[in-house]
Amino acid sequence: MQHRKYPFVFGFLAVPVALYLTFVISPFAQAFYISMTSWRGFAPPKWIGFDNYRRLADDGTFWKAVQHNGILLLVLPLVTIALALLFAFLINVGGGSRSGTMSGVWGSKFYRVVFFFPQLLAVPIVAVLFQTVYRPNSSGLINGFLMKLGLEPVGFLINPKLALWAIIAALVWQCVGFYVVLFSAGMASIPKDIYEAAALDGAGGVTLFFRVTLPLLWDTLQVAWVYLGIAAFDAFAIVNVLSVDNGGPDGTTTVLSVEIYRNAFAFSRYGYASAMGVALFFFTLTFAALTLRVTRRESIEF
């Protein structure tokens, strides 16, 4: 029977592997090839080697987009994970010990639903909602309130110094609910006896969080950081819908994915756009590899 297992395994995996090669690996390979050409979408591609990559090195718009992705990469995971950890901790063990059992704050089940609700909305819908929130007149949610207080309206999306931060705030609002649920699931898997033993030894909420929750939730945090980093490298939909002139004003909110879209579909520079896509691929791959390497630690059994 031993020799019969190989045809069975091959037959079982042949179709999934073929589909993966066709719809995942093949587009990657085509993107690498197109990035070496000056293809504009009509005539046959003309091979130009690494000229597109040399052009990237001198492209100020490209590096401005990289800078904005870097800001997203730093701020989005930090703020989202910090808020999600805080909310998840309050929902699961923030209420302290009740009847000898650790529990969340009052109404924790309701808060789970509230926090997760933005995750049910598509990113473009979130962007449209925040267009209403940031509208620079009395019909805007924030500016309407400010104007009632006698304050001047704030141009959140038209002020070059505020636009990127306004978009980051919308991204955090959209992302945080998923990670509240993710961290809540991780905390639920931690035996309550550990929390109760620490509480009996006199540990307060802060000590429980940093000495018990964080170490036992480390693997989940590592995954969350990678996912949020990938989201920070993308951010196409919300920037494209929420920003002024697709990455404005004056390019202050543009990111790599927006520049790829603009070069491909607005300027028909598919070879150059593919070179940007390849650069984005390696940025993302490098980030994921470094994050998993730097944050690697021994698993704690419980």
In a domain, 45, yes or no: no
pLDDT at 68: 94
Total of domains in the chain: 1
In a domain, 30, yes or no: no
C-alpha distances out from residue 4 to 9, 12, 14, 18, Å: 9, 13, 16, 22
SS3 246: coil
pLDDT at 300: 57
Q: Number of C-alpha atoms within 13 angstroms, CB side, residue 14?
A: 7
In a domain, 271, yes or no: yes
- CA 203, distance to chain mean position in Å, is 34
In a domain, 161, yes or no: yes
Write the Ramachandran bin of 268: left for phi over 0, alpha for psi from -120 to 50, otherwise beta.
Answer: left
pLDDT at 102: 53
Q: How far apart are CA 163 and CA 156, in angstroms?
A: 5
Look at residues 224, 245, 127, 110 and name the one whose alpha carbon lies nearest to residue 178: 224
Q: Which two tokens stand for residue 161?
A: 């110094």
How many C-beta neighbours within 10 Å does residue 24 have?
Answer: 10
pLDDT at 294: 79
SS3 283: helix
Q: Which two tokens stand for residue 115?
A: 């926090």
Residue 59 domain boundaries: 52-294
pLDDT at 254: 92
Q: How far apart are CA 207 and CA 98, in angstroms?
A: 18
In a domain, 11, yes or no: no
Look at residues 46, 40, 24 and name the one whose alpha carbon lies nearest to residue 266: 40
pLDDT at 205: 65
CA gyration radius, the chain? 24
Averages of pLDDT over each 10 residues, the chain, 302 residues: 64 82 87 89 84 90 92 92 86 59 62 76 86 86 87 87 92 89 81 71 69 78 88 88 84 91 88 91 89 71 54
In a domain, 302, yes or no: no
User: Which residues contact residue 25 at a Cβ distance below 8 angstroms, ignoring those fewer than 6 apart?
Assistant: none
We report the CATH number of the domain holding residue 180 as 1.10.3720.10
In a domain, 34, yes or no: no
Q: Hey, which bits of the chain come out as E strands?
A: 96-98, 101-103
In a domain, 6, yes or no: no
8-state DSSP, 93: T
Q: Hey, which bits of 181-274 come out as E strands?
A: none
